[in-house]
Amino acid sequence: MILCLGLAADPTFVHGLRALAAADLPFAVVDLPTLALYGDLTVPLDDLRATTVRTGDSAGHVVLGEVRAVWCRPLNVSAAAPAPATARRADGQYQALCRVLEAVDLPVLNPPWREATNAAKLLHAVTLAPVGGWRIPRSCLTNDPATARAFVRSCPRGTVVKGAGAAKTWATLFGSEHERLLPRLRHSPALFQERITGPDVRVHVVADRAFAESVHSPNVDYRTAHGANRYAPLDLPPTVLEGCRRLVADTRTPFLGVDFKIDEITGDWYFLEANSMPCYEGYDVRADGAISRAILDWLTAPHPHGSPWISPRSHSGRRSSRPR
């Protein structure tokens, strides 16, 4: 049985559950808000595999040691709790699950805290890009208006500005209308990057298997151009493919959504980020379910004892020495 942890309100989580059901694989579902409201979590510190999740509904309970693998898309839902006591309960359950899933000897896709550098976008980029052997756009992280203004003026093709942390923000092309907003940087820094004109590329990597799509969009942030983007499957250059495999191995994270820009002038590839909890359902539909099949193959494959993040077919990349 595969244990699925996530939110029933998350379309990506629902998409994954439908793939499991279509493949006729046995699985149990834990909706984290329901767990906080009606269930409980028991973690024996001397045996993490005896961790028990009771959902408070007809599903009964699940013991980690009795499952084959874990697929999770956990979010801390405490901020949306209806009462302070429920918020504390939800936060405690989330923190405990994250720690257990990092330490338990089970295949987990993905351990929630395994790749945490994306909490700071520039740190994330400069840490992971060398693993793949990639460049990143020229960047400036600052809370100083004068520094930001000078950087913007140094970018002949324009400047993209985005949030500096893990909170979801939209990439925006800096324009004259943003000049008057620069004093706000003193209260909250932002990340400025030289604009790379050309297509976006999203690569979903499951162990050693990669599924890539190019995205041609009229908008700087293609996520905001609903219905106006052009998507096409893409064969990755061997160096990019091998870099993606190294990234999975180095971060010990079996499933990543890796984002690039291709410079339309030089053809160079620029690394943007690698999301360890990607929203992949739209890409999967266009790929006729290939990403879901790769995920299910990973979850049901035999894994080497003590190294459940590695697929038996996986590229043998180096392990990270960075603290996690």
Q: What does the pLDDT look like over 56-75, one tens digit per residue?
A: 766 678 999 999 999 999 99
Q: Is the peptide bond before 110 cis (omega within 30 degrees of 0)?
A: yes
Domain endpoint, select from 52, 85, 106: 106
Mean pLDDT across the chain: 90
| Rounded Cα gap, residues 186 and 22, in angstroms | 52
Q: Is the pLDDT of residue 285 over 90?
A: yes
Q: Is the pLDDT of residue 173 over 80?
A: yes
pLDDT bucket at 149, cuts 50 / 70 / 90? very high
Q: Are 300 and 68 in contact (CB under 8 A)?
A: yes
3-state DSSP helix/strand/coil percent for the chain, to nearest 5?
35, 25, 40
Count of domains in the chain? 3
Q: Are 61 and 54 in contact (CB under 8 A)?
A: yes
Residue 248 backbone class (left: φ over 0; alpha: ψ -120 to 50; beta: rest): alpha
Statement to judge: residues 60 and 183 lie in one domain: no
pLDDT bucket at 310, cuts 50 / 70 / 90? very low
Identify the domain containing residue 74 by its residue range: 2-106
Share of the chain above pLDDT 90, in %: 85
Q: Is the pLDDT of residue 308 over 50?
A: no
Q: Are 230 and 216 in contact (CB under 8 A)?
A: yes
Statement to judge: residues 173 and 305 lie in one domain: no
pLDDT bucket at 314, cuts 50 / 70 / 90? very low
Statement to judge: residues 131 and 69 lie in one domain: no
Q: Are 82 and 48 in contact (CB under 8 A)?
A: no
Statement to judge: residues 205 and 234 lie in one domain: yes
Statement to judge: residues 153 and 41 lie in one domain: no
Residue 250 backbone class (left: φ over 0; alpha: ψ -120 to 50; beta: rest): alpha
Tokens 């990143």, residue located: 136
Q: Is the pLDDT of residue 309 over 70?
A: no
Q: What is the pLDDT of residue 39?
A: 92
Q: What is the pLDDT of residue 58?
A: 60
Q: Is the pLDDT of residue 4 over 90?
A: yes
Q: Mean pLDDT throughout 216-243?
A: 94
Statement to judge: residues 172 and 209 lie in one domain: no
pLDDT 10s digits, 102-146: 999 999 999 988 887 878 899 999 999 999 999 999 999 999 999
Q: Is the pLDDT of residue 306 over 60?
A: no
Domain endpoint, select from 194, 209, 238: 194
The structure's pTM equals 0.90
Residue 306 backbone class (left: φ over 0; alpha: ψ -120 to 50; beta: rest): left
Statement to judge: residues 188 and 225 lie in one domain: no
Q: Mean pLDDT throughout 200-213?
A: 97
